[in-house]
């Protein structure tokens, strides 16, 4: 497994892989790897022979007062895990290598960041879009793998690829959870034993929302209120947002008359955690018959 820290070296390696006819697959990470990251890597194996993982804690996506300095890191442990997964190369530059002196070019999207996490973290998606664009130009992948846990990020990257005409296939993979249902995250390490119990309210509230939708509830405000009460009933929880939105535009929905994405962000202690689910309304028998007749015509 090659470990590369210099941009030009990574570009030269990718050029060589492409000239040899190999498919380059990129899994971008900020390190401190867990089973969620490893599931992305295993998914990547199905798409190409050259599997590259980037490890870079991106300062451009952290705002003032956020956890850039305290973000968990364990580079040697990460390398051990990646070797076991058969990764062919790791790209791990430092901030000086990535941004250099007098860096002043950023990539911004106009609409998608103005929802969900983007409202309370105004620089986050500019930082994400910029670093992902740089990684695409450095690693030159044919395929890039991202997790659906960071759903808004996945949608931002898909839009970015369309808008800027990158010839890269973006693959989204399902959220990987702990056995108790908590979505895997590097920030879970911030949680104390009692805080972890409180953190379970995120997934529990999403599952309750799906239950309500399956039982015919369509009013998003009522579903959001139920989720908020569930979360606030636990100690040390502070809701950033709970939203039910269009899966593509991320615009808020008032009525669940089609599949909708429910997303939330909650601080539990000092850990800011996110989670989401696709809410699928139950199709009535009459609507099913109407759709069937249309399909037959």
Q: Please list the active-site residues.
A: 37
Q: Are 26 and 135 in contact (CB under 8 A)?
A: yes
Longest dimension (CA), the chain: 64
Q: How far apart are CA 41 and CA 53, in angstroms?
A: 8
Q: How far apart are CA 99 and CA 108, in angstroms?
A: 16
Q: Are 41 and 82 in contact (CB under 8 A)?
A: yes
Q: How far apart are CA 199 and CA 202, in angstroms?
A: 6
- Residue 67 DSSP class: S
Sequential DSSP letters for 39-62:
HHHHHHHTT-SEEEEEE---GGG-
Q: How far apart are CA 264 and CA 240, in angstroms?
A: 7
Tokens 């399956």 — which residue?
214
β-strand partners of 275:
264
Sequential DSSP letters for 156-169:
HHHHHHHHTT---E
Alpha helices, H only, 75-192 = 75-84, 95-99, 117-120, 124-139, 151-163
Query: Coil, helix or strand for 197?
Result: helix
Q: How far apart are CA 148 and CA 154, in angstroms?
A: 7
Q: How far apart are CA 115 and CA 249, in angstroms?
A: 9
What are 4's two structure tokens? 């590369």
């Amino acid at each position: 497994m090659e470990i590369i820290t210099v941009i030009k070296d990574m570009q030269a390696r990718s050029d060589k892989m492409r000239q040899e006819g190999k498919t380059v697959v990129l899994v971008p990470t900020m390190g401190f790897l867990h089973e969620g990251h490893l599931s992305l890597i295993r998914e990547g194996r199905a798409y190409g022979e050259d599997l590259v993982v980037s490890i870079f804690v991106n300062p451009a996506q952290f705002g003032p007062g956020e956890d850039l300095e305290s973000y968990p890191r364990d580079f040697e442990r990460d390398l051990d895990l990646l070797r076991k997964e058969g990764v062919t190369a790791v790209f791990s530059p430092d901030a000086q290598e990535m941004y250099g002196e007098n860096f002043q070019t950023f990539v911004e999207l106009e609409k998608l960041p103005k929802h969900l996490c983007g409202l309370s973290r105004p620089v986050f998606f500019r930082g994400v879009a910029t670093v992902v664009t740089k990684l695409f130009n450095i690693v030159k992948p044919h395929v890039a793998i991202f997790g659906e846990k960071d759903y808004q990020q996945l949608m931002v990257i898909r839009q970015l690829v369309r808008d800027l005409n990158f010839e890269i296939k973006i693959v989204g993979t399902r959220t990987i959870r702990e056995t108790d249902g908590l979505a895997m995250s590097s920030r879970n390490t911030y949680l104390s034993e009692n805080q972890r119990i409180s953190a379970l309210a995120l997934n529990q509230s999403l599952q309750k929302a799906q239950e309500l939708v399956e039982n015919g509830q369509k009013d998003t405000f009522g579903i959001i209120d139920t989720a908020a009460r569930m979360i606030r009933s636990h100690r040390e929880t502070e809701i950033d947002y709970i939203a039910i939105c269009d899966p593509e535009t991320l615009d808020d929905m008032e009525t669940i008359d089609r599949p909708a994405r429910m997303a939330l962000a909650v601080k539990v202690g000092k850990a800011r955690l996110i989670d989401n689910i696709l809410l699928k309304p139950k199709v009535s028998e009459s609507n099913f018959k109407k759709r069937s007749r249309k399909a037959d015509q």
